[in-house]
Structure formats: C-alpha cells, structure tokens
C-alpha cells in the first residue's frame, strides 16, 4: 500500500457510519452481511448506506457479491491488512517493545476459539 491508497482508506474510515460498517463487516467474517442487515446493524437508512458503501468500495476496503436478490458485503481483508502494515511498517526501528502491544492485540483477536477439530 502506498501513501495515496492509505490516505484514501483513512478518508473513507474518517466518518462514523463508514467506520461502523467496516467494523460490522470484519465482525461478520467472510460470509458478510446483506445490505438490509448491514443498515440495521450500523443504524443508518438504506439510501445513506449506499452512499457510504460506495466510498468504502472506492477505497478498496469492502467488496460485494450478489446472492440471488441480495447484495452481500464483506470486508476486504487484504486491504485492511495492507493498511495495518502501512501503519506499522517502520514502527520498531530496532525497538520491538514498541510494537509488542499492537502485535499482541492482533494475535489475540485472531486466535481460534472453542474446540479445535482433531485429525
């Protein structure tokens, strides 16, 4: 991710409903959410949702797919990962303790929960 892409992503995330949309989609996982469910989840009207989705899509932070009559929205995980990497790229500068809290927070949220199936 270059600086121009990061600025576009941050501009898109710099609005309350758009940030809520991305967080809801990250929480929903790869299955995503239908537009109506997403609007109800973030507390915005459907016509306003379309406006916000357009900005997030333009910034590359979300994706959509059609399933029957529904449009399903998902977080664009590679773009979100790139944004985090862009922020953290030069973080440590030889001092890993600076980045340890951020790395630990990411590791904690990505740890599988529940029973793990055994082969």
Domain ranges of the chain: 3-110
Contact between 38 and 24 (Cβ < 8 Å) = yes
The 10s digit of each residue's pLDDT in 14-72 is 999 999 999 999 999 999 999 999 999 999 998 899 999 999 999 999 999 999 999 99
| Phi-psi region at 72: left, alpha or beta (left = phi > 0; alpha = psi -120 to 50) | beta
Distance from the Cα of residue 113 to its chain's centroid: 20
pTM: 0.82
| Eight-class DSSP state of 94 | T
CATH hierarchy code of domain 3-110: 1.10.10.10
| Eight-class DSSP state of 2 | -
């Amino acid at each position: 991710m270059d600086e121009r892409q990061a600025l576009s992503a941050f501009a898109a995330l710099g609005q309350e409903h758009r940030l809520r949309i991305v967080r809801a989609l990250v929480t929903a996982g790869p299955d995503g959410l239908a537009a109506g469910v997403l609007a109800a989840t973030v507390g915005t009207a459907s016509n306003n949702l379309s406006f916000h989705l357009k900005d997030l899509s333009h910034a590359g932070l979300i994706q959509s797919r059609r399933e029957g009559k529904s449009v399903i929205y998902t977080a664009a995980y590679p773009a979100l990962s790139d944004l985090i990497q862009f922020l953290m790229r030069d973080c440590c500068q030889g001092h890993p303790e600076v980045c340890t809290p951020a790395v630990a927070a990411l590791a904690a949220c990505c740890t599988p929960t529940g029973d793990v199936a055994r082969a």
